[in-house]
Structure 1
């Protein structure tokens, strides 16, 4: 398929036009017109670009791309190195940020819930923060272990002395959603899962009686881009390879 067709089809799938995002969604760097082999990954870091070059890919599709609002516009240093690699090798770069976080079928939040056997019941802060329930109440230690196994990394767990002994009602927001912890606490969940943690998050969890799990920005956002890649492969007979560049954050 052509690069313009891929952009159009994914924009339609994710309803990109409905979002006021802080980054360009869709085709960010134009490469060769025809696409047969696609590399997917969470972030368009230089290591991912090198893998795409090594595998002679026609396109890279990621969740975290380039050209964020308020970033310096000058092309130098790391930005120059990345863009040079793409342009010299005629590789397309596509990125979908918020549309891929919140999609009801392919989104990072939904895929995280599926991975953890959480049944989504609704949203707390539409469309970014979802809530749901576990099939059976579970202890905090067992739920932490479930997170560790599912995401292949140990989450950071903060909690109040009066936090529930068993976890059943859970709010979640992939990536950098720690700023929504107070919304989750006001809603009355037993636990809140996101990717990152800030200094104030610890105190919010301790003082508002809930469990907080920081499970990794990268780790909580693998699911969406993998699901999108699977869709591209099945719908358009593209060769799609997901490459997981390790990131402890």
Structure 2
């Protein structure tokens, strides 16, 4: 597939032009024109780039790319080494941040909900269809302890859990990655529990004082599934050779 066609198809699918983001979405580093082999992953780390070189990939497709707002613009050190490796091997880098979080089928939130058997109902901000946090419910109410066990089994890591009361979980809000600040909005809507990737010091106080169970299951662990699903979609639709590589990260 030609690079331009791939970028156009991803633009049509993910609609990054509809979302204000903290980084450029789409083609971030231009490589070879013809794309046959794609490596997908969560973050465009040096380890993922090295793996893509070993796999002789023509493109890398990730959730976390480069050129974030507020980032030092100088191409030195780690940034220089990463870019140098991409350019030396003529590898395209494509990154989709918030557009991949919110996609209703392939997105991180949708895929995590599917993995955990959560039923999606609406964006946590009902007026904002691109809200990166969502509201849903469990098929059967369960205790916070039982849900924590489900998280550990499905994500292969022990979550940080703050049990806030004895109530069962029926309704739940979630946001993959660093979405801990949405806990107050979830609590204001009377939702039983909130799930995200990370926690801040104040998150636990919000959980305790507003009686909303809280789970932080890891930024990386909760965002493994969007890039993987997107790659599988591309493989099926366009007969591309796509491989997901999980560079483990405990955060």
TM-score range, shorter chain: over 0.9
Decide whether the 8 Å contact of 1:38 with 1:57 is kept in 2: yes
Decide whether the 8 Å contact of 1:164 with 1:210 is kept in 2: no
| Large movers: runs of 4+ above 6 Å | none
Which residue is 1:176 aligned to? Answer: 178
Mind listing any 5+ residue stretches in structure 1 that lack a counterpart? none
Which residue is 2:247 aligned to? Answer: 245
- State the TM-score, normalizing by the size of structure 1: 0.97
Q: Does 1:42 align with 2:42?
A: yes
Residue pairs, 1:116-135, within 5 angstroms: 116-125=116-125, 126=128, 127-135=131-139
Match of 1:142 among 121, 128, 146: 146
Root mean square deviation of aligned Cα: 0.8
Which residue is 1:199 aligned to? Answer: 201
Which residue is 1:84 aligned to? Answer: 84
Aligned residues: 247
Mind listing any 5+ residue stretches in structure 2 that lack a counterpart? none
Match of 2:235 among 233, 239, 245: 233
* Mapped partners of 1:135, 1:243: distance in 2: 31
Q: CA deviation at 1:164?
A: 4.0
Match of 1:159 among 158, 163, 168: 163
* Mapped partners of 2:38, 2:211: distance in 1: 45
Decide whether the 8 Å contact of 1:164 with 1:209 is kept in 2: no
Which residue is 1:100 aligned to? Answer: 100
Q: CA deviation at 1:206?
A: 0.8
* Mapped partners of 1:235, 1:245: distance in 2: 26
SS of equivalent residue, structure 1 residue 192:
strand
Give per-residue Cα distances to partners, 1:133-166, cap 9 Å, x unaligned. Answer: 1111111111101001111111100132xx2431
- State the TM-score, normalizing by the size of structure 2: 0.97
Q: CA deviation at 1:91?
A: 0.4
Decide whether the 8 Å contact of 2:38 with 2:61 is kept in 1: yes
